[in-house]
Structure 1
Amino acid sequence: MSSFVGVLVSDPWLQSQFTQVQLRTLQTKFTSAKRSDAEHVTIKDLPPVMEELRGIQEVLTEEDITNFLSESYPDMNEPIEFEQFLREYLSLKAKGTTKSGGQKNLKGSVSFLKASTTTLLHVINESEKTSYVNHINNFLGDDPFLKNFLPLDPTSNDLFNLIGDGVLLCKLINVAVPGTIDERAINTKKDLNPWERNENHTLCLNSAEAIGCTLVNIGTQDLIEARPHLVLGLLSQIIKIQLLADLNLKKTPELLELVADDNSKEAEELVNLAPDKMLLKWMNFHIKKAGYKKTVTNFSTDVKDGEAYAYLLSALAPEHSSTTLIETTDPKERAKKVLETAEKLDCTRYVTSKDIVEGSANLNLAFVAEIFQHRNGLSSNNVAPVVEDTPGDVRTGSVLPVVLDKTKSYVSLILSTTYGIFCYLMNQSHLFFLYLRRNFPRGSNRIPREKPE
């Protein structure tokens, strides 16, 4: 059982403003402020500590902090507790933002915390939330345990309410990469105690990292509290791994068609190409053949006008595409036509026309991955299939032609090699008999004649 113990704050609102990583960091800073000869941390101990904290050090000096604190605390020797320290921290950030006119220099990093003054840095993308909820409803709707809670309403907070016990995320990881978690290890009873919830979330985070998710500043307590921006970030990674699962040569050997036959270096690079980069390469391969002059390097700004999508679908699904798909000049109208065409391929709608025009990177990537899964446009000729179910593949006849062809080649190779060995041995035996004839005349028991000097 996990021994994780979070930093707890009595005020729920105050607790909600910080992740556990942030709380632990701030608690360490607060403790370090206490002088060795003092029993408590006092107000006058705070300015040097506050000045070092991210989000304050960029906009306030130690003198500024002292002046602000003295307005609220005439007696600077007054003791202060950790929770009040957190409130003062939030207050100083707000005053710092006001002092700088709202233009804070964050030195290229995200804000240290989700406070009321920095909420804009953690705005929840409702389109992504809706897309992820629909994905969950689609893939987990028949799960024996979760079917009692699904489908979720994308317009409500049902998703975040269900995340709290950890079951949903564990199940979704198994959808993305089957067999990652032994589901017998998931606590699925109706009412879980805190330890069981923590076990589920520990299992989730360890498994998420194992399948390739990047976990930064997120802990089990963050998932128990279902902090929206962290939950959506994790969901995005899990779903991305699922959607890109076939973007490799093992699952889709036809991807070798993306490189020229005589380019061994590019073929070698293709083996180690990340799935999202492979998807871009696949997309550029088709739109270039369709006559698109630009190169798509991302799933945001390069596709927001919808033109690349128009060329892609025209190349992959000409039977569903019309000339107006490419000729349309209005981005919004083109985006609508692109989605209408994709729906004819039974692609799940991960994006709206608004998402395309706004360049939503995560949702556009999901959309392109859906197109790949339904119509990749690659030829299977001359590409040997990967045999995973021998009886099934032989029964359907999908591998027999390749097997017979390979067998014929191997038999020819064996016969030619055997014949070569035979000829070599015959030649050697001929030389041997010639040696005997020269050195041992018929009827003679003499030793071999020595050559005259």
Structure 2
Amino acid sequence: MSNDLSNRFSVIQPEILDELMTSFNEIDVDNSGSISTGELGALFRACGEDLPGYKLRELTAELDKNKNGTIDFEEFVAVYADMKSSHIAHSFKKAVATKQGIVKKGGMSGVSVEGTTHSYSEEEKTAFADWINSNLANDEDCKPYLDIDVNTDELWTKIQDGILLCKMINLSCPDTIDERAINKTKLNQYKTTENLNLALNSASAIGCNIVNIGAVDLQEGKPHLVLGLLWQIIRIGLFAQIDLQHNPGLVQLLMDGEDMEDLLKLSPEELLLRWVNYHLKNAGIDKTITNFGGDIKDSEAYTYLLNQIAPPDRGVDLGPLNENDPEQRAELMLQNADKLDCRAFVTPKDVVRGNSKLNTAFVANLFNTWPALDLPEEMPDIEGLEETREEKTFRNWINSLGVSPYVNHLYNDMMDGLILFQTYDKVKPGVVDWGRVNKKFKALGGNMKKMENCEYAVELGKDMKFSLVGVGGKDIFDGNETLTLAVVWQLMRAYTLALLQNLKGSEEKIKDKEIVDWVNTTLQEAGKETSLSSFQDPEISSSRVVLDLIDAIKPGSINYNNVRDGTNPDERQSNAKYAISMARKIGARVYALPEDLVEVKPKMVLTVFACLMGRGLKKVQ
């Protein structure tokens, strides 16, 4: 942090800085560490100040100092510090005085060299602990840890050995972690660190942003980091089935004049809003909601929604509407939710206060349990609209870098170029000239500006020596799947090899042959019999060469009793699952899936061996 920025932080009272971070995190729902410039107005409103449009435009220009279309916490606080004595600063302090449910925890802040307190939400701690208690109750490995007492700090201590985190990841994305890779007995510092590395690297692989979160942070039970990670894991699990592949009845949410492509462009949050409004309309209610904050505080929308989706035999009624006290009405509404086995995430106070994060989770859980969406008589063709394995892997990788907003649909979310530019900047910091980037797209001429962005994105790729023959900006703007994937793949490849290059301290780009040679040398020196001829080597399908390499990098890490011959598909899949999890366990940030090894997908195989080479080079240093 620059001295100028440090000085700005130092003049802000710790409790004010704490509340600024809390408000920022309320808007930053995906915990990416940044918000889009378009969300600045919502950030000020969260702090009790509704600014006029012209003022927001002025502040956006001031805040977005690196011109990347996003605002991080440091940028926000730096301008706030300059305004400290103004009316807005007074409004912030007033808002701070009215906030409730915030607990302060001592420690060094990641944004202040002076050290401050960190805030965390007591409501979130309670909600997440309850979710763990109810959803992992039948897991034998988890029973010694449950029930977590929400009135104590047990949540911070019971995740410290990594077992609950690994189980939560598998709850959200089944089979992400091979159970054989989790250390479950005779735990010590060494084994718990391995579990936490496994959990963190696996969380990254499913799309969590774990930048600035390490095993030590979790072992120390830092509340704000624990809650941030848990929310990302829970959110991914809740949103996993809010798509056409799992719920084709979502076609009912199409509006007049829309087609399936329009539906695909909607985020899970937007789909949930449409879902609620769809059922309100079917209930004959002349009411719509536009958010899961202020619009649901009176519990009316929830009461009508629950009555509409509930089976007749569940005893759900409109009785809560007869209660005038908002908090008591919310309690009666939640009693109805309990009749649907869906009383989760929110308390009456969370509803009345309009906690958007927890209310979004509440509605997502309702949708997953009782979608109540019948298929239309004429079902549109949805074949080919489901996300492929490759698309999901690339999308998860991009999200793990901390881009904003969160990427829900790879092609649609790339069409304006802004996500691509953020990714370029992560791969090669400073490569993007943000002065050339269009960040606002008005109705008139907006598509032209998006096209200009996409052309510049292709130009950057060519400057970085990507193979982009036949790829133009229009291909990205049009959502051409093959050509967009070509750009994203080469970004992922460049990112992986750049990490290797930095570890080697070399100015020369890493070539494929260099990785293959390193693998074979490492295997030979460890006395292993396997070898690698190329990233297309059919022997990779058994994963034995990967497992041997892991054991060569970290001797004794592979339990060869778990390794099969790999002579049939089931054995190959078993070995691959074990190999991917063990690679992550020893510290390799692997994004590939077991199927990539079994099917010997050269692109993803390269990333596996490159990540393992990076882990091996770290060992040497």
Q: TM-score range by the shorter chain?
A: 0.5 to 0.7
Superposed displacement of residue 125, structure 1: 1.8
Does the Cα contact within 8 Å between 2:316 and 2:339 map onto a contact in 1? no
Aligned twin of 1:232? 227
Bigger Cα displacement from structure 2, 203-212 vs 318-327: 318-327
Pair 1:340–1:150, CA change in 2 (3 A): closer
Which of 292, 312, 316 matches 1:299?
292
The structural deviation recorded for 1:59 is 5.9
Match in the other structure for 2:480: none
- 1: distance between equivalents of 2:192 and 2:318? 55
2:252 and 2:376 in contact (8 A); partners too:
no
C-alpha distance in 2, partners of 1:209/1:104?
40
Q: Deviations over 1:15-65 (max 9, x none)?
A: xxxxxxxxxx6xxxxxxxxxxxxxxxxxxxxxxx644426536669xxxxx
Is the alpha carbon distance of 1:103 and 1:385 closer, same or farther for their aligned partners in structure 2, counting shifts above 3 Å?
closer
> 1:194-250 CA distances to partner (integer Å, 9 max, x unpaired)?
4x3333222222221222223343233222212001101111121122222221100
Output the CA distance in 2 between the equivalents of 1:287 and 1:276.
17
Assess if the C-alpha contact under 8 Å between 2:334 and 2:343 holds in 1: no
The 3 A distance-change label for structure 1 pair 332 and 268 is same
Deviation at 1:268, TM superposition (A): 1.3
Structure 2 counterpart of 1:256: 251
Shift of 1:385: 12
Within the candidate set 43, 47, 53, 2:6 is matched to: 53
Other-structure match for 2:268? 275
What does 1:382-401 align with in structure 2 at a 5 Å threshold?
382=377
In the other structure, the counterpart of 2:308 is 315
Could you tell me which residue of structure 2 aligns to residue 70 of structure 1?
Answer: none
Q: Which runs of 5+ in 2 are unaligned?
A: 14-80, 93-108, 384-621
State the Cα distance separating 1:303 from its structure 2 match.
Answer: 1.0
Letter in 2 for 1:379: D
Provide the secondary structure at the position in 1 that maps to 2:295: coil
Amino acid in structure 2 at the alignment position of 1:126 = E
CA 1:225–1:346 in structure 2 vs 1: closer, same or farther (change >3 Å)? Answer: same
Whole-angstrom distance in 2 between the partners of 1:114 and 1:232? 20
Q: Tell whether 2:105 aligns with 1:152.
A: no
Aligned residue for 1:343?
338
Q: Contact 2:9–2:112 at 8 Å: present in 1 too?
A: no
CA contact 2:172–2:234 (8 Å) conserved in 1: yes
Which position in structure 1 is the counterpart of 2:278? 285
**Distance apart, 1:187 and its partner CA:** 2.5
2:200 maps to 205
Q: Which runs of 5+ in 1 are unaligned?
A: 1-24, 26-48, 61-95, 388-453
CA distance in 2, matches of 1:348, 1:214: 28
- SS of aligned partner of 1:164: coil
1: CA distance between counterparts of 2:124 and 2:10? Answer: 33
C-alpha distance in 2 between matches for 1:124 and 1:198 = 24
Alignment counterpart, residue 356 of structure 1, candidates 348, 351, 358: 351
Residues 142, 321 of structure 1: alpha-carbon distance in 2 compared, 3 angstrom cutoff = closer
Contact kept, 8 Å, 2:252 with 2:375, in 1: the verdict is no
Alignment match, 1:142 = 138
Tell me: CA distance 1:213–1:269, structure 2 relative to 1, closer, same or farther (3 Å): farther
Aligned residues: 295
Q: Is 2:131 the counterpart of 1:178?
A: no
Q: Render the CA deviation track for 1:158-190: whole Å, top value 9, x for unaligned.
A: 211122222211111011100111222222233
Shift of 1:135: 1.3
Spell out, residue by residue over 1:271-292, the C-alpha distance to the aligned partner (whole angstroms, 9 max, x if none). Answer: 2432222111111111133244
Does the CA contact (< 8 Å) of 1:59 and 1:104 recur in 2?
no
Q: Which residue of 1 aligns with 2:372?
A: 377
CA displacement at 1:129 relative to structure 2: 1.1
- Contact residue 244 and residue 250 of structure 2 kept, 8 A: yes
Deviations along 1:106-147, whole A, 9 cap, x unmatched? 9xxxx744899843xx33322221221121122222333322
Alignment partner of 2:294: what SS? Answer: coil
Instruction: Output the CA distance in 2 between the equivalents of 1:172 and 1:54.
Output: 41
CA offsets 1:387-430 (integer angstroms, 9 cap, x no match): 9xxxxxxxxxxxxxxxxxxxxxxxxxxxxxxxxxxxxxxxxxxx
Cα distance change on mapping 1:251 and 1:200 into 2, 3 Å: same
User: What's 1:221 paired with?
Assistant: 216
1:132 corresponds to which residue? Answer: 128
- Are the equivalent residues in 1 in contact too, given 2:244–2:382 (CA < 8 A)? no
Mapped contact 1:167–1:188 kept (Cα < 8 A): yes
2:183 matched to 1:187? yes
Answer whether contact 1:222 1:230 (CA < 8 A) is retained: yes
Alpha-carbon separation, structure 2, partners of 1:369 and 1:333: 23
**Deviation string, structure 1 residues 349-401 (Cα, Å, up to 9, x no partner):** 321111100111222112212222332221145459999xxxxxxxxxxxxxx
With over 3 angstroms needed to count, the CA separation of the structure-2 counterparts of 1:380 and 1:300, relative to structure 1, is same
| Cα distance change, pair 218–386 in 1 and its aligned pair in 2 (3 A) | same
User: Which secondary structure state, in structure 1, belongs to the residue aligned with residue 296 of structure 2?
Assistant: coil
Distance 1:314 1:149 in 2: 36
* Matched AA of 1:336: E
Q: Compared with structure 1, are the counterparts of its residues 54 and 315 closer, same or farther at alpha carbon in structure 2 (3 Å cutoff)?
A: farther
Aligned to 1:53, the other structure's residue is in SS state: helix
Q: Is the 8 A contact 1:51 1:57 kept in 2?
A: no
1:330 to 325, 328, 344: 325
The aligned amino acid for 1:299 is: F
Is the CA contact (8 Å cut-off) linking 2:298 and 2:352 kept in structure 1? yes
Where relative contact order (Cα < 8 A, 6+ residues apart) is larger, the structure is: 2
The 3-state SS of whatever aligns with 1:123 is: strand
Q: Partner of 1:36 in structure 2? A: none
Q: Percent identity?
A: 43
Q: Is the 8 A contact 1:311 1:326 kept in 2?
A: no
State the Cα RMSD in Å: 3.6
1:32 counterpart residue number: none
Cα separation, 2, equivalents of 1:366 and 1:59: 33
Counterpart of 2:440 in structure 1 is none
Higher mean alpha-carbon deviation, 51-60 vs 231-240, is at 51-60
**Contact 2:303–2:318 at 8 Å: present in 1 too?**
no
